[in-house]
């Protein structure tokens, strides 16, 4: 069975470490905040200028001046700090954020990522995604392994305009966890009940399959 969105978030959450500053993108990455292990302290960075994002406010706490990068009303966690957009991106571009999790349309074996622009469709913009992928060392991309039409999103060369070049080393799809090394995807783990054959079939870019590929457990 392919992983659910929640299972993907749970799997990403296993990469968290105590004391990490983390930037979570919109969609599945946002869900990772729900699976921070008990007793572990993680601080969420929101690129509009908040380090230490708390839960959504109650009806009484709503404040138009407190939003996250998705423009949702939020609260500040205990120990949070708030600052300008330049300060926020100094953290991101200066490599101070420990883990960045974001979605994508395509990733390729050179570590390139395409996530913001589909030619012919309305282009809304890259927001902070280009800064995040260029600035972070430790990035996990979350996406489905193949499109609804079965076309692989793990390619030898991205077909869409890039968000960043040579910056991705870890990819979690609904079928597998892979790392990118020396111009190939390395299959590290597979979703429960998903065969290596299925992953091979749905991976267009070069894929290295080690002798043993453990199943994820939840």
Partner 1 sequence: MSGFDKVVNSYEEALAGLEDNMTVIAGGFGLCGIPENLIQQIKVMGTKGLTIVSNNCGVDGFGLGILLEDRQIRKMVSSYVGENALFEQQLLAGELEVELTPQGTLAEKMRAGGAGIPAFYTATGFGTPVAEGKEVREFNGRNYILEESITGDFAIVKGWKADRYGNVIYRDTAQNFNPLAATAGKITIVEVEEIVEPGELEPTQIHTPGIYVNRLIKGTFEKRIEQRTVRQA
Rounded Cα distance between 25 and 114, Å, is 14
Q: Which two tokens stand for residue 171?
A: 């990819």
- Contact predicate 202/42, CB 8 Å: no
Q: 81 or 195, CB closer to partner 1?
A: 81
CA-CA distance, 124 to 82, in Å (whole number)?
A: 26
Residues 48-107 binding partner 1 (CB under 8 A) are: 48-50, 55-60, 62-68, 70-74, 76, 82-86, 88-89, 92-93
Q: Residues 163 to 202: which contact partner 1 by CB under 8 A?
A: 163-166
User: Listing from the earlier edge strand, what are the strands of the sheet with 76-82?
Assistant: 76-82, 50-53, 42-46, 20-24, 99-103, 139-143, 170-173, 176-181, 184-190, 207-208
Using rule CB under 8 A, residue 142 touches partner 1: no
126 binds partner 1 (CB under 8 A): yes
Binding range to partner 1, per CB under 8 A, among 37-45, 121-129, 142-150, 175-183: 121-129
Residue 18 or 137: the one with the smaller Cβ distance to partner 1 is 137
CB atoms within 10 A of CB 112: 22
Catalytic annotation on 47?
Answer: yes
Q: Which C-beta is closer to partner 1: that of 122 or that of 182? A: 122
Spatial contact of 191 and 215, defined as CB atoms under 8 Å apart: yes
Size of the site for partner 1 (CB under 8 A): 53
One of 161, 196, 206, 213 touching partner 1 (CB under 8 A): 161
| 149 beta partners | none
Choose, from 15, 38, 41, 47, the residue flagged as catalytic: 47
Q: Does 17 bind partner 1 (CB under 8 A)?
A: no
Q: Which residues are catalytic?
A: 47
């Amino acid at each position: 069975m392919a992983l659910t969105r929640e299972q993907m978030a749970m799997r990403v959450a296993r990469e968290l470490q105590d004391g990490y500053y983390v930037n979570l993108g919109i969609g599945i990455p946002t869900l990772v905040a729900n699976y921070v292990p008990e007793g572990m302290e993680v601080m969420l960075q929101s690129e509009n200028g908040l380090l230490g994002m708390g839960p959504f406010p109650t009806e009484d706490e709503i404040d138009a001046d407190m939003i996250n990068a998705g423009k949702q009303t939020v609260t500040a966690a205990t120990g949070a700090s708030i600052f300008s957009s330049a300060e926020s991106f100094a953290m991101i571009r200066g490599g101070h954020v420990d883990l960045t999790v974001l979605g994508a349309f395509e990733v390729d074996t050179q570590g390139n990522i395409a996530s913001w622009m589909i030619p012919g469709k309305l282009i809304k913009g890259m927001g902070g995604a280009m800064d995040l992928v260029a600035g972070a060392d430790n990035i996990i991309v979350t996406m489905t392994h193949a499109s609804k039409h079965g076309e692989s999103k793990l390619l030898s060369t991205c077909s869409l305009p890039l968000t960043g070049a040579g910056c991705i080393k870890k990819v979690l799809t609904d079928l597998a966890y892979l790392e990118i090394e020396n111009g190939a995807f390395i299959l590290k783990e597979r979703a429960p009940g998903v065969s290596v054959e299925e992953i091979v079939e749905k991976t267009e870019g070069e894929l290295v399959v080690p002798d043993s590929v453990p199943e994820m457990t939840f």
